[in-house]
Chain A
Amino acid sequence: MIVRSMSALIERDLRLAIRHGGESLMPLIFLFSVIILIPLGVGPGPNLLAAIAPGMIWVAALLASLLALENLFRPDLDDGTLEQWWIGDCPAGALVVARLFSHWLITAVPVIVFAPLAAQMLYLPAEALGVLVLSLLLGTPILSLVGGLAAALTLGTNRGSVLLSILVFPLIVPVLIFATGAVSAAADGLSARAHLGLLGALLILAITLVPLATSAALRLNIE
């Protein structure tokens, strides 16, 4: 029952995303506009660019994930499909996970796929590419979870978008530190396993706790 409701929701979200088209493209275009602007800003020197590449790609990915948050729950609130989540046996926390999973597929996966290309544009050493992709695979779901929580908290307000970034930024600090730490370590030829392990631990923690808080916040906001 739970799995069926979750898969129905994911399938519908993906169908809607395909019909809207641009949703997947937005974060990608944003990522590349940042990546193109950086050399223009700091100069084209390969050493400098390689040194800041891990941080820049991650900051760009973080900001890109903020873009789509406003539409995570708001359309569902407006057309009444959100309140249906509390009717029936499927716990809302599971539906939150389903929604965030489809959101992650739509907005984060394209960024992960094209991140190696962006990294090459910033001269990140080739041996760090694998770790970059791995760190994004572990880290972007946390971005989606935390972003979803912030979106749920601000759902009942009408100036959500400003608040969103204030709420997300402090909570996401550890992810940024460990993820960029992993990539920098790999670029310096060191082992990234400790950083990646911590990132994985954060992901497990986030996946267990955040959906509960998110569904509680959503519920308060539809009341």
Chain B
Amino acid sequence: MIWKTIKVNFHRLGSPPTFYRLAQVLAPWLWAGFAVCAAIGLYQALYVVPPDYQQSDSFRILYIHVPAAWQAMAGYVVMAILAVIALVWRIRTVEIMAMAGAPIGAAFTFICLATGSLWGRPMWGTWWAWDARLTSMLVLLFIYLGIMGLYAAFEDRRKGARVACILILVGIVNIPIIHFSVEWWTTLHQGATIRLFSGESTMHESMMPPLIWMTIAVKLMFGAALLDRSRNDLLDQDRRKGWVQARLGESA
């Protein structure tokens, strides 16, 4: 009974006009939240936190690098959840959302790799090191690119989305294995310094607040970008449909 109610509501939410309206209302709030959190986080990261006694100011790139890395992985999990929903209930808007997540996730992965490389130059003396976390991030980037390429290769965009959803699910099984195997393969990187759930953090307390602000900011930005991208894709795919023309006519 409850199951059925959830399903009905899901499908209602999945109807393109409803989703479009919801995304239109929600996205600006998320963008605003992102701007506020990022402003606080960046101010604290750049002016409040004292320089590190070993790395001086260069460690501050961490406040971009780490949230981007987390979001690159969290974004994949979000896509995988959307992919399950899309494949099981065949809701078109969810398929579109899953696909809209890929370029954003890929962008965060790229930011993570680029900032990591900038950080690595002064710290390790090299732009690129074949260490476990860098390598698995690079592999993740390729998985993202594979999903985007597969989706783009289909003429029928719905079919492309559904096929790419299968790939997303294959990836979610594989990513932990890749991560683990790459870790096994080499351990050159410094050990994990931030442990949220177990043991004590080896980061100084004063360094934490901006990281939290930036993490929240990045999550909000992901959500906002996801909604905006899916809204645009929906508009593009449905441009000949009645509801789009009614909506555009209304605003024109």
Direct contact of A and B (CB under 8 A): yes
- CB-contacts of B145-167 with A (<8 A): 145-146, 149-150, 153-154, 156, 159, 162-163, 166-167
Task: Look across to chain A and name the residue whose beta carbon is closest to the beta carbon of B183.
Answer: A177
Q: Is B181 an interface residue (CB 8 A)?
A: yes
Residues of A within 8 A of B142 (CB): 166, 169-170
CB distance from B124 to the nearest CB of A (A): 22
Q: Is A159 an interface residue (CB 8 A)?
A: yes
Q: Is A163 an interface residue (CB 8 A)?
A: yes
A202 to B180: give the CA distance in the assembly, Å.
12
Number of interface residues of B (CB under 8 A): 28
A209 to B149: give the CA distance in the assembly, Å.
23
Beta-carbon contact of B166 and A156 below 8 Å = no
Known: A213-B166, A213-B170, A220-B159. A167 touches B150 (CB 8 A): yes
- CB-contacts of A135-159 with B (<8 A): 149, 153-154, 156-159
Residues of A within 8 A of B149 (CB): 163, 166
From the candidates B163, B173, B174, B185, name the one contacting A217 in the complex (CB within 8 A). Answer: B163
Beta-carbon contact of B146 and A173 below 8 Å = no
Residues of B within 8 A of A209 (CB): 170, 173
Beta-carbon contact of A170 and B178 below 8 Å = yes
Q: Is B177 an interface residue (CB 8 A)?
A: yes
Task: Look across to chain B and name the residue whose beta carbon is closest to the beta carbon of A149.
Answer: B170
- CB-contacts of B165-198 with A (<8 A): 166-167, 169-171, 173-174, 177-178, 180-182, 184-185
Q: Is A216 an interface residue (CB 8 A)?
A: yes
Q: Is B139 an interface residue (CB 8 A)?
A: yes
Residues of B within 8 A of A170 (CB): 139-140, 142-143, 146, 171, 174, 178
CB distance from A161 to the nearest CB of B (A): 11
Q: Is A79 an interface residue (CB 8 A)?
A: no
Q: Is A181 an interface residue (CB 8 A)?
A: yes
From the candidates A166, A178, A216, name the one contacting B166 in the complex (CB within 8 A). Answer: A216
Q: Is A223 an interface residue (CB 8 A)?
A: yes
Task: Look across to chain A and name the residue whose beta carbon is closest to the beta carbon of B184.
Answer: A177
Residues of A within 8 A of B154 (CB): 156-157
Binary B-proximity of A185-223 (CB < 8 A = 1, otherwise 0): 000000000000010001001000110010011001101
A167 to B139: give the CA distance in the assembly, Å.
11
Q: Is A16 an interface residue (CB 8 A)?
A: no
CB distance from A62 to the nearest CB of B (A): 15
Beta-carbon contact of B150 and A153 below 8 Å = yes
Q: Is A80 an interface residue (CB 8 A)?
A: no
Known: A149-B170, A220-B163. A173 touches B150 (CB 8 A): no
The 6 residue pairs across chains A and B that have the minimum distance between CB atoms: A157-B153, A174-B181, A170-B142, A170-B139, A177-B181, A167-B146
| B contact set with A: CB distance below 8 Å | 139-140, 142-143, 145-146, 149-150, 153-154, 156, 159, 162-163, 166-167, 169-171, 173-174, 177-178, 180-182, 184-185
A sample of 11 more A-B contacts (CB under 8 A), given A156-B163, A170-B142, is A154-B153, A167-B167, A170-B174, A171-B170, A173-B181, A181-B184, A205-B177, A209-B170, A213-B166, A216-B166, A220-B163
